[in-house]
A and B are shown apart, each in its own frame.
Chain A
Amino acid sequence: MAHTELAEEFVADEDRARWHDQALWFVRAKRDAAAREVPEWEELRCRAAAIKRHAAAHLADYLEQFESEASARGAQVHWARDAAEHNRIVHGILAQRGAKLVAKSKSMLTEECGLNPYLAARGIRVVDTDLGERIVQLRAEPPSHIVLPAIHLRREEVGELFHRELGTPAGLADPERLTAAARSNLRSVFLEADAGITGVNFAVAETGGIVVCTNEGNADLGTSIPKLHIACMGIEKIVPRAADLAVFTRLLARSATGQAITSYTAHMHGPRPGAELHIVLVDNGRSQLLATRRDREVLSCIRCGACLNTCPVYRRSGGYSYESVVPGPVGSVLGAASEPEAKASLPYACTMCGSCNDVCPVRIDLRGQLFRLRQDLVESGLMPRHKRVAARLASWLMRSPRRFGIAGKVARWVLRRYPNSSALLAADWTAARELPRVPERSFRELYEQRERERRR
């Protein structure tokens, strides 16, 4: 379905849409304040972009280095070409050790691979331990945001859900008490889990270590009790040196939530004594994006969510309107670059305002990418028919000043006489907004008149 159709339900509830917009704007404002605290912010962004570009260009070497360092420290490294292979590997490790209960912390990669349903179908219970992810998991929904998974829900809805699922008192909607309920409910999961699965924020080639950032401490807790830790990461998470982490940890939390740093920035080098650490390196389309130099840039993304929070379209249409694991500007680029046919409407769910470019901590040219993806869609004939016809007509009209003038005159005459006629041709545009009053004369006519008067 197209983005506009998917957004329909969300925008129909005006109160919710407005509240969603403001909640995200609040996060965006916090990000701005946090970024302004750092005088060398722009320098950090440039460094981050350069480090990522370098790492992407030498990814094969760095992956090999990472593998050998990580193995030297006792971790077991696995490679997966695609989502299916990733799921098979993770399930294999769990099944071999008879694991039945898994405490999982946030990982967009496992969402991308559909790991939870895969494991559930094989009798393994996976509990998402990040509060936001737990909420959407209990509702059997995907996350609607990459950092704030339950940002689309009101506290009353969470209260009802917890009443039903966790037995909190009916009508309880106080975030503090709801969080406390989830805390005590999940404690038993942490204590009893047979394995912990985490994502990875950064992997350091130089030291073979992985870095996981959370505010709740759930990744650390989920991996410090069970004897088995499986860390799943996309191959683009590699940074060359430990010192590079300084650049990224300074940027990540400030961009994501406006904090100076997350509560916990854990560095894991090899397993806990007496435990196992498995690291699964996943390609799943990444090497293909890397092969096209133009699309390569989007793999620099550190999943901070800043481009979602600032996007005027995302804020007003909600995460589900993108029908992608990663929504918003970066999700539109990822989606349309890897599945152009299914995600053809996403590059058009963009106003070209460029705000995402300004906030992205790794300086991805999201706006430029979306613009180029539109061109690709036109060239490969994936633009919807009515848009193609309209664009061709507009281009024919605009190429001749005379035709343009006549068309303007006709349109003004028709719209003055039949103000509702626009609904026939441009229903999408006028469904939720009124056309401005049609002026008597065009700019060109006004200009000519002025010139005449001046000469007189």
Chain B
Amino acid sequence: MTARADILARLRASGRGDVDLPGVDGEWRRYDDPRRQFADAVQAAGGSCVFCRREELGGRVDDLHSEVGARRVVSAVPEVDGRSVRDLGGERECADVELLLVPGDVAVAENGAIWVSDGCLPQRAALFLAQHLGLVVASASLVDTMHDAYAALAIGDRPYGVFVAGPSKTADIEQCLVIGAHGPRSARVFVVD
């Protein structure tokens, strides 16, 4: 017998029981002021958040650009100038990216997470190799909880999608929080109206 057949047979032999699968709907949290909750959550996750109009985005990105002292921006966001991610060569070239701008599809108020998929990012390594990260998301894509987020997404449509909440971090040495573990050292979210 193959391992597969063996394992499945063992599982089936132990019977199913009659445990119903609960529904997915519920009285989940609604925020009076989701924008504020989102900004707080991003901050709690170690990132920062700015709200702006679409025309202002370029200027706000320039601010970030000089703040982090990056030589140039690599951008996956059409409205933001910079070298396009599509021109990045192999993964190893991504290691030199200082500031990367990526679009997010959904922003989650309860925890500050942004959904980013590889649809806009041919080299997913860039998301983790970049020293600093800027995430651009439309204010209309802001939802309250993870339930709303999964309802809005089709996670199986792309090979890769990730909720990003703040920069990378670790607390593995004596529970001291250190920002910038393996991935970006900073993350700023631009919520665009």
Where the two chains meet, the residues of A that have a C-beta atom closer than 8 Å to any C-beta of B are 23, 26-27, 38-40, 43, 47, 50-51, 53-54, 56-60, 63-64, 69, 73-74, 79-81, 85, 129-132, 135, 148-151, 153-155, 158, 175-176, 178-180, 183, 186-187, 190-191, 204, 206-209, 215-218, 220-221, 224-225, 235, 240-246, 249-250, 257, 259-273, 281, 283, 287-288, 290-291, 293
| In contact, A85 and B3 (Cβ under 8 angstroms) | yes
| In contact, A216 and B13 (Cβ under 8 angstroms) | no
Q: Which residues of A contact B95 (CB under 8 A)?
A: 187, 191
| In contact, B17 and A57 (Cβ under 8 angstroms) | yes
Q: Taking CB as reference atom, which chain A residue is nearest B4?
A: A79
Q: Which residues of A contact B17 (CB under 8 A)?
A: 53, 57, 293
Q: Which 7 A-B pairs have the closest CB atoms?
A: A217-B183, A207-B156, A260-B111, A132-B172, A216-B181, A291-B14, A175-B176
Q: Please name 23 pairs of A and B residues whose Cβ atoms are closer than 8 Å in the assembled complex, sorted by A.
A: A40-B26, A50-B20, A57-B16, A57-B19, A155-B176, A179-B172, A179-B181, A191-B91, A208-B156, A217-B182, A224-B160, A242-B150, A243-B150, A244-B24, A245-B146, A246-B24, A259-B44, A260-B41, A261-B165, A263-B164, A269-B157, A269-B158, A291-B14
| In contact, B7 and A287 (Cβ under 8 angstroms) | yes
| In contact, A264 and B182 (Cβ under 8 angstroms) | no
Q: Which residues of A contact B24 (CB under 8 A)?
A: 241, 243-244, 246
Tell me, yes or no, whether B34 is within 8 Å of chain A by CB: no
| In contact, B174 and A263 (Cβ under 8 angstroms) | no
Q: Which residues of B contact A132 (CB under 8 A)?
A: 170, 172
| In contact, A175 and B174 (Cβ under 8 angstroms) | yes
B51-88 interface bits toward A, Cβ cutoff 8 Å, 1 = contact, 0 = none? 00000000000000000000000000000000000000
Min CB–CB distance B189 → chain A (angstroms)? 13
| In contact, B173 and A150 (Cβ under 8 angstroms) | yes
Contact residues, B123-179 vs A (CB, 8 A): 123-125, 127-129, 145-147, 149-151, 153, 155-176, 178
| In contact, A131 and B166 (Cβ under 8 angstroms) | no
Additional A-B contacts beyond A38-B110, A206-B156 (18; CB < 8 A): A79-B2, A150-B172, A151-B175, A153-B173, A155-B176, A179-B178, A183-B181, A224-B128, A242-B150, A242-B153, A259-B44, A261-B165, A263-B168, A264-B164, A269-B158, A270-B159, A288-B10, A291-B14
Chain A CB count within 10 A is highest, among B127, B167, B184, for: B127
Assuming A23-B174, A59-B11, A265-B162, is B124 touching A129 (CB within 8 A)? Answer: no
Min CB–CB distance B92 → chain A (angstroms)? 6
Min CB–CB distance B145 → chain A (angstroms)? 7
Q: Which residues of A contact B28 (CB under 8 A)?
A: 40
Assuming A26-B175, A63-B8, A217-B182, is B125 touching A267 (CB within 8 A)? Answer: no
Chain A CB count within 10 A is highest, among B10, B118, B157, B160, for: B160
Q: Which residues of B contact A69 (CB under 8 A)?
A: 156
Q: Taking CB as reference atom, which chain A residue is nearest B46?
A: A263
Q: Which residues of A contact B3 (CB under 8 A)?
A: 79-81, 85, 283
Residue in contact with A130 in the complex, picked from B111, B172, B176, B178, CB distance below 8 Å: B172
| In contact, A267 and B161 (Cβ under 8 angstroms) | yes
| In contact, B6 and A81 (Cβ under 8 angstroms) | yes
Min CB–CB distance A367 → chain B (angstroms)? 22
A179 to B182, CA, bound (A): 9
Min CB–CB distance A118 → chain B (angstroms)? 17
A455 to B129, CA, bound (A): 84
Assign chain B's interface to a size class.
35 or more
Q: Which residues of A contact B161 (CB under 8 A)?
A: 266-267
| In contact, B165 and A263 (Cβ under 8 angstroms) | yes
Min CB–CB distance A141 → chain B (angstroms)? 14
Residue in contact with A264 in the complex, picked from B4, B112, B162, B180, CB distance below 8 Å: B162
Q: Which residues of B contact A179 (CB under 8 A)?
A: 170, 172-173, 178, 180-181
| In contact, A149 and B19 (Cβ under 8 angstroms) | no
Tell me, yes or no, whether B27 is within 8 Å of chain A by CB: yes
| In contact, B11 and A191 (Cβ under 8 angstroms) | no
Assuming A57-B19, A85-B3, A186-B182, is B110 touching A149 (CB within 8 A)? Answer: no
A155 to B142, CA, bound (A): 40
Min CB–CB distance A30 → chain B (angstroms)? 9
Min CB–CB distance A40 → chain B (angstroms)? 6
Tell me, yes or no, whether B101 is within 8 Å of chain A by CB: no
Q: Taking CB as reference atom, which chain B residue is nearest A154?
A: B174
Assuming A243-B24, A246-B149, is B111 touching A261 (CB within 8 A)? Answer: yes
Assuming A64-B8, A290-B11, is B159 touching A271 (CB within 8 A)? Answer: yes
Tell me, yes or no, whether B99 is within 8 Å of chain A by CB: no
A158 to B174, CA, bound (A): 9
| In contact, B29 and A40 (Cβ under 8 angstroms) | yes
A151 to B11, CA, bound (A): 36
Q: Which residues of A contact B118 (CB under 8 A)?
A: 272
Assuming A54-B20, A73-B159, A261-B111, is B178 touching A175 (CB within 8 A)? Answer: yes
Q: Which residues of A contact B8 (CB under 8 A)?
A: 60, 63-64
